[in-house]
C-alpha cells in the first residue's frame, strides 16, 4: 500500500514537472534517457478538424507610437499593476503619434477557407485609438465588411487598452456584432462595451453594444468552426488585466497555425499547451501576432534561451510583430528562425517583421 502510494505520488509529481527537475539534478536530463525511464506522457487531445487555407492581414500592430511616453504614463500612475482604467494616458503632443496621440492599437483580420469551399471572416481585437483604428479599418476594407455584416467572429484576445479600447471603430459599423471575450474580463470592460465612459483614461464608447457577449471558458479548447479553436489562458497581466485567449488553426497539409494578440501566457507555454491539447499540435507550422518578448526593447539573457527553445519547434513561418520587440525579432533572424518580413507601411517602424497592411498566407 505504502509502495503503491509512493509510486502514484511519483507519477503525479512527474506530470507536474517535478520529476523532470529531479532527473536534471541527478544528471539524467537528456531527453532520450528521460523518455526511456519515464512513463509515456498522457495527452488529452481534441481533434479540431481542418481548414484549407488561412490569410492573416495585420490591420495595426502599432499599439503606441512612443515607448518612452507609454512607460512614463505607467510610471507616473504608480507602476505596472495599476488599473488601466484609472491611468491618464498621454493623448496629445506626441511627435511620433497619430495626430499627436500616443495611442494606436492592435487588430488582425483573418480569412479562413473551409474544406466545404466557404470562407469565415474574423476580426481579432479592435485597437486603442478609435480614430486610428477607423482609418485602418476603412483602408483595409474591414469597416465595409462590418457594415455589411460579413464578419463572422469578433474576438477580443484580452482586455488591454491597446487591444480593446478602440471598440468604437468596430461598433460604429456594426453595434450588433457578437463578441467573444476571455474569462477574466473586469466589470469596467463590460461597462465600456455597454457605453460607459472612463474620462480619466480617456476611453469612451458612444456606440453601445447590442450583440451577444460570449465569455470563453478557460483551460479548455473552445472550437469555433472546423479547423479553428480558441484557447484561453488564466493569468494576471500588467495594468490589472486577467486572462488572454488565442487562436489555434489546423491547416490541411501544413499543420498548426497559432495567431495571437499579445501572448502574455508566453509563446512556449502556448505551444506546449497546444501540443498537449490539440491533435497535430506537435507540428506547429506558423505563428502570427504579438509574442511579448521584448516589448519595451529591454533584453535579459534568459530571453536568449527562449530564442534557442523556439528553434527546436520546427516552425516554418513566424509573422511576429507588436509586443514581440525589435530586439527579439533581430535575435530570431540571427538564430535563422523563419521570420516573415514586411513592407514598413502605415506607420510600422521596421521592415524586418510583418507590419501594418502586410498579410501572412498559409
C-beta of 239 vs 332, nearer to Fe ion: 239
- Within residues 340-359, the interface with Fe ion by CB under 5 A covers none
**In the complex, what is the shortest distance from the CB of residue 105 to Fe ion, in angstroms, rounded to a whole number?**
9
- Within residues 283-342, the interface with Fe ion by CB under 5 A covers 323
C-beta of 162 vs 168, nearer to Fe ion: 162
Piece in contact with Fe ion (CB under 5 A), picked from 28-36, 93-101, 109-117, 158-166: 158-166
- Reduce the secondary structure of the chain to three states and give it as a string: CHHHHHHHHHHHHHHCCHHHHHHHHCCCCCHHHHHHHCCCCCCCCECCCCEEEEEEEEEECCCECCHHHHHHHHHHHCCCCCCHHHCCCCCCCCCCCECCECECCCEEEEEEEECCCCEEEEEECCCCCHHHHHHHHHHCCHHHHHHCCCCCEEECCCCCHHHHCCCHHHHCCCCCCCEEEECCCCHHHHHHHHCCCEHHHCECCCCCCCCCEEEECCCCEEEEECCEEEEEEEEEECCCEEEEEEEEEEECCCEEEEEECCCCCCHHHHHHHHHHHECCCCCEEEEEEECCCCCCCCCCHHHHHHHHHHHHHCCCEEEEEHHHCHHHHHHHHHCCCCECCCCCCCCCCCCCCCCCCCEEEC
- Closest residue to Fe ion, based on beta-carbon distance: 262
| Euclidean distance between CA atoms 196 and 323, whole angstroms | 28
Asked whether position 262 contacts Fe ion by CB under 5 A, the answer is yes
**In the complex, what is the shortest distance from the CB of residue 258 to Fe ion, in angstroms, rounded to a whole number?**
16
C-beta of 160 vs 275, nearer to Fe ion: 160
Piece in contact with Fe ion (CB under 5 A), picked from 45-53, 79-87, 152-160, 281-289: 152-160
58: alpha, beta or left, given left = phi > 0 and alpha = psi -120 to 50? beta
- Within residues 179-238, the interface with Fe ion by CB under 5 A covers none
C-beta of 110 vs 262, nearer to Fe ion: 262
C-beta of 278 vs 287, nearer to Fe ion: 287
Piece in contact with Fe ion (CB under 5 A), picked from 11-19, 153-161, 164-172, 272-280: 153-161
C-beta of 280 vs 325, nearer to Fe ion: 325
**In the complex, what is the shortest distance from the CB of residue 61 to Fe ion, in angstroms, rounded to a whole number?**
9
- Within residues 87-146, the interface with Fe ion by CB under 5 A covers none
How many residues touch Fe ion under the rule CB under 5 A: the total is 4
**In the complex, what is the shortest distance from the CB of residue 146 to Fe ion, in angstroms, rounded to a whole number?**
21
C-beta of 184 vs 227, nearer to Fe ion: 184
**In the complex, what is the shortest distance from the CB of residue 264 to Fe ion, in angstroms, rounded to a whole number?**
6
Asked whether position 162 contacts Fe ion by CB under 5 A, the answer is yes
C-beta of 136 vs 160, nearer to Fe ion: 160
What is the binding site for Fe ion (CB under 5 A)?
160, 162, 262, 323
Amino acid at each position: 500500500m505504502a509502495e503503491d502510494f509512493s509510486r502514484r505520488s511519483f507519477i503525479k509529481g512527474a506530470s507536474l514537472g517535478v520529476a523532470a527537475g529531479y532527473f536534471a539534478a541527478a544528471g539524467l536530463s537528456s531527453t532520450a534517457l528521460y523518455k526511456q525511464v519515464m512513463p509515456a506522457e498522457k495527452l488529452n487531445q481534441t481533434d479540431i478538424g481542418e481548414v484549407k487555407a488561412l490569410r492573416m492581414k495585420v490591420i495595426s500592430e502599432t499599439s503606441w507610437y512612443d515607448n518612452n511616453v507609454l512607460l512614463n504614463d505607467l510610471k507616473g500612475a504608480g507602476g505596472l499593476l495599476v488599473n488601466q482604467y484609472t491611468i491618464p494616458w498621454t493623448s496629445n503632443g506626441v511627435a511620433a503619434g497619430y495626430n499627436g496621440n500616443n495611442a494606436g492599437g492592435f487588430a488582425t483580420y483573418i480569412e479562413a477557407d473551409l474544406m466545404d469551399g466557404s470562407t469565415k471572416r474574423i476580426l481579432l481585437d479592435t485597437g486603442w485609438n478609435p480614430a486610428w483604428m477607423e482609418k485602418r479599418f476603412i483602408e483595409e476594407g474591414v469597416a465595409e465588411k462590418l457594415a455589411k455584416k460579413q464578419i463572422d467572429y469578433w474576438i477580443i484576445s484580452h482586455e488591454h487598452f491597446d487591444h480593446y479600447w478602440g471598440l468604437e471603430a468596430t461598433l460604429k459599423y456594426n453595434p450588433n456584432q457578437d463578441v467573444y471575450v476571455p474569462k477574466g474580463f473586469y466589470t469596467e470592460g463590460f461597462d465600456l462595451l455597454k457605453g460607459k465612459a472612463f474620462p480619466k483614461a480617456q476611453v469612451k464608447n458612444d456606440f453601445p453594444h447590442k450583440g451577444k457577449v460570449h465569455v470563453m471558458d478557460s483551460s479548455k479548447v473552445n472550437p469555433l468552426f472546423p479547423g479553428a479553436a480558441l484557447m484561453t489562458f488564466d493569468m494576471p497581466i500588467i495594468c490589472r488585466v486577467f486572462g488572454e485567449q488565442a487562436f489555434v488553426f489546423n491547416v490541411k497539409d501544413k499543420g498548426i497555425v497559432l495567431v495571437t494578440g499579445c501572448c502574455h501566457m508566453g509563446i512556449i507555454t502556448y505551444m506546449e499547451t497546444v501540443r498537449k491539447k490539440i491533435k497535430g499540435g506537435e507540428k506547429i507550422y506558423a505563428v502570427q501576432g504579438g509574442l511579448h518578448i521584448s516589448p519595451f526593447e529591454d533584453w535579459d539573457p534568459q530571453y536568449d534561451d527562449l530564442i534557442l527553445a523556439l528553434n527546436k519547434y520546427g516552425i516554418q513561418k513566424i509573422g511576429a510583430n507588436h509586443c514581440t520587440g525589435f530586439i527579439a525579432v533581430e535575435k530570431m533572424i540571427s538564430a535563422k528562425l523563419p521570420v516573415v518580413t514586411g513592407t514598413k507601411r502605415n506607420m510600422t517602424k521596421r521592415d524586418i517583421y510583418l507590419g501594418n497592411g502586410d498579410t501572412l498566407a498559409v
